[in-house]
Amino acid sequence: MPKPRCPNGTRRNKKTGNCESTGNTKTKTKKRKTMKRELLGKKMPEAQIERIMTTEKWQYIKKLRTKEEEEEYEKKKKALKELRFDRDLNLAKIYTFNTAYENATNTTKHKLGVLIGKE
């Protein structure tokens, strides 16, 4: 009757019949702590932010400018700088703040919801 197989990483010694280590065991390496890319996402370029904000200004240009509207404008601009988007999203097709906010990742939406009063 044949002897049972040796476990992985060992081999049978022909003289003694015992299982011996092959000596090719790999040492464990420490895993690096990395943040997931989908959580980070990509930032919107400055030129795109300026384009969106000029569009936002033109929408409100017929109204009389109040201090509250100016503060809202600055909040939106700050929020656009903080928003992150999926890496495969084409940012060139985003023209307004609302579409930018809708296409942002959920983690950044949650962080900024209080800032801009969306949630």
Q: Higher-confidence residue: 105 or 49?
A: 49
Q: How much is the mean pLDDT over the chain?
A: 77
Q: How many domains does the chain have?
A: 1
Domain with 87, as residue range(s), is 38-116
Is residue 81 one of the residues assigned to a domain?
yes
Is residue 91 one of the residues assigned to a domain?
yes
Residue 38 banded pLDDT, cuts 50, 70, 90: very low
Q: How far apart are CA 103 and CA 109, in angstroms?
A: 9
Q: What tens digit of pLDDT does each residue of 65-109 get? A: 677 777 888 888 888 888 888 878 888 888 888 888 888 877 777
Is residue 8 one of the residues assigned to a domain?
no
Is residue 33 one of the residues assigned to a domain?
no
Say which DSSP state 43 is in.
P
Is residue 20 one of the residues assigned to a domain?
no
Q: What is the pLDDT of residue 98?
A: 81
Q: What is the pLDDT of residue 6?
A: 92
Is residue 75 one of the residues assigned to a domain?
yes
Report the number of secondary-structure helices (H) and strands (E) in the chain: 5, 2
Report the predicted TM-score, pTM, of the whole model to 2 decimal places. 0.53
Is residue 53 one of the residues assigned to a domain?
yes
Q: How far apart are CA 103 and CA 86, in angstroms?
A: 8
Q: Hey, how many other C-beta atoms are within 10 angstroms of the C-beta on 79?
A: 22
Strand partners, 10: 21
Q: Judge contact between 74 and 65, C-beta under 8 A.
A: no
Is residue 11 one of the residues assigned to a domain?
no
Q: State the average pLDDT over residues 113-119.
A: 54
